[in-house]
Structures are given as C-alpha cells and as structure tokens.
Homo-oligomer: A and B are copies of this chain.
Amino acid sequence: MTDLTHNEALQKTTVDQRLTERGIFVTAQRRAIADVLFARNQHLTADQLLMLVNETGAKVSKATIYNTLGLFAEKGLVREIHISSAKTFYDSNTSRHHHFYNMDTGDLIDMKERLAPLFLQSDLPDGTVMETADIVVRVRNQKP
C-alpha cells in the first residue's frame, strides 16, 4: 500500500465520520461530493461543485448536488452565503467567520472573526433564538 492510497483511505474514513456524526447516511454520491467539498476551505456554487465532482470520475446528477448541499447545510456541514439573487455560495468552512465580497472581481474573502459582532440573546427580537449571523462586507477595488 502506497502512502497515497493510505492517505486516501484515511480521508475516506474522516469524511465518512464527518457525515455519520451528523446523522447523515453515507452513500457513494454523498461521499464523492463531500470528498471534493471538504478537501479544503472553499466557496463554491452548486454548479462549480457539480463540475468538480464529475471531473473526479464520479457520476452525480444536478438534483443530487442540490439535495446533498441542502442536507449538508441543514446538518451544519456547510454554510450558505447569499451574495446576490444569482449567486449562492456554499462554504466548506463552518467555523465562525464572515466574508468580504469584492464586487469588482467577484472574489469572496474570509474575514477574521474578531471583526464580527456578538449578538447576545437579549439583543434578538423577543421570542426568537439565533440560528446564524451572516455578514457580507461588499468592497470595491480602490481607484488608482
């Protein structure tokens, strides 16, 4: 067994665990999707993910990409980021952080958490509990 296959085996276990821990049934498609998605911290659209997954040789349909992203989001494995009506990103990094969006380039850049505010229970509307706090700071390239 080479190091490569050893690493692959390790990652497979890790990814499987990640899903199982959240009560998600592991299937071939879900693993294929998770392998690509969780390979690193990244921001992907459903379409980009579909292409990347199918490039690995796996054969996964568009509907499954959406089903799976929806499931992962519900279980807290990915975060949805709504930039505009035509741009929904899925963020494989679910640690507490936020984003800068460069309107000129379309880049989505992570923001250090210390810049984000804390919302205390007492700050929230009466009778509600916080689910997520999403901050998008839109920036433009500085004019010369």
* A82 cross-chain contacts in B, Cβ below 8 A: 82-85
Q: Which of B85, B115, B133 contacts A88 (CB 8 A)?
A: B85
What chain B residues lie within 8 Å of A117 (beta carbons)? Answer: 115-117, 135
**A125 close to chain B: CB less than 8 A:** yes
Question: Are the C-beta atoms of A135 and B135 separated by less than 8 Å?
Answer: yes
A22 at the interface (CB under 8 A from B): no
Contact check, A129 vs B139: say whether CB atoms are below 8 A apart: yes
| C-alpha gap A134/B130 in the complex (Å) | 17
Least distance between A96 CB and chain B CB atoms (Å): 13
**Copies of this chain, whole number:** 2
A interface, over-half SS? strand
B139 touching A124, Cβ below 8 Å: yes
Assuming A82-B84, A116-B117, is B133 touching A135 (CB within 8 A)? yes
List residues 100-144 of chain A with CB under 8 A from any CB of chain B.
Answer: 100, 102-103, 109, 111-112, 115-117, 119, 123-125, 127-142
Choose one: B86, B111, B123, B129; the contact of A140 (CB below 8 Å): B129
Which A residues form the contact surface with B (CB < 8 A)?
80, 82-86, 88, 100, 102-103, 109, 111-112, 115-117, 119, 123-125, 127-142
Jot down 15 A-B pairs with beta carbons below 8 A, ordered by A: A82-B84, A100-B124, A102-B125, A115-B117, A117-B135, A127-B142, A128-B141, A129-B141, A130-B138, A131-B138, A131-B140, A132-B137, A132-B138, A133-B136, A134-B137
